[in-house]
């Protein structure tokens, strides 16, 4: 399968599932996918970013090995919101490599604080930031303050996620 060609055919859940199904747990096919995800043109990357979520759910070990490269995409100035959303989404469930934790936290706090960021990205970013605060309780105050500030001017859905994350963070040792 030519991933690029398939991605450009149509943008649908059916097409994304077809690509993810073709990749499966095959490391060579995943490497081919990753090459496109990391280096292809904006439109292709946008369309195939959803594949990442499916693969992370179905084959987490395979995706986890490539997380440093995947996380590096968050540094791109022209990153498409779909890429941000799918990268942050998988970080809720996969172990964040220690060498990437600071970068991930910085991105998450930036996304949470940005009122122009999409609700989905902000919600996922809250969960990931709280996950890091669970690992490093000294981060709790910074994460909680960022979330509380974001809650002041946001949507009802984001307020619900904020309350849930803050409640969970209150369960942290030393709270």
Tens digits of per-residue pLDDT, 123-143? 999 999 999 998 998 999 999
Output the pLDDT for position 116. 93
Closest of 134, 118, 122, 135 to residue 161, by C-alpha: 122
CA gyration radius, the chain: 17
Other C-beta atoms lying within 10 Å of the C-beta of residue 80: 16
Output the pLDDT for position 120. 94
**Could you tell me what percent of the chain has a pLDDT over 70?**
98
Output the pLDDT for position 175. 52
What is the distance between the alpha carbons of residues 94 and 74, in angstroms, rounded to a whole number?
A: 16
The overall average pLDDT reported for the chain is 93
Contact 116, 155 (CB under 8 A): no
pLDDT digit string, tens, across residues 45-97:
999 999 999 999 999 999 999 999 999 999 998 899 999 999 999 999 999 99
Q: pTM for the complete prediction?
A: 0.91
Output the pLDDT for position 172. 65
- The average pLDDT across 153-157 equals 82
Question: What is the domain partition of the chain in residue ranges?
Answer: 1-95, 97-175
């Amino acid at each position: 399968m030519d991933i690029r060609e398939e991605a450009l055919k149509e943008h649908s859940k059916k097409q994304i599932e077809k690509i993810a199904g073709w990749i499966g747990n095959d490391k060579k096919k995943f490497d081919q996918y990753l090459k496109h995800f990391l280096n292809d043109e904006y439109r292709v990357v946008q369309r195939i970013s959803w594949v990442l979520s499916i693969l992370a759910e179905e084959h987490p070990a395979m995706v986890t090995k490539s997380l440093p490269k995947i996380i590096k995409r968050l540094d791109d100035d022209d990153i498409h919101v779909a890429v941000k959303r799918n990268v942050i989404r998988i970080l809720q469930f996969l172990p964040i490599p220690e060498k990437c934790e600071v970068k991930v936290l910085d991105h998450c706090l930036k996304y949470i604080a940005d009122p122009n960021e999409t609700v989905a990205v902000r919600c996922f970013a809250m969960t990931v930031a709280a996950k890091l605060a669970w690992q490093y309780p000294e981060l709790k105050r910074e994460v909680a303050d960022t979330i509380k500030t974001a809650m002041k001017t946001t949507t009802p859905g984001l307020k619900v996620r904020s309350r849930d994350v803050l409640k969970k963070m209150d369960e942290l040792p030393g709270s």
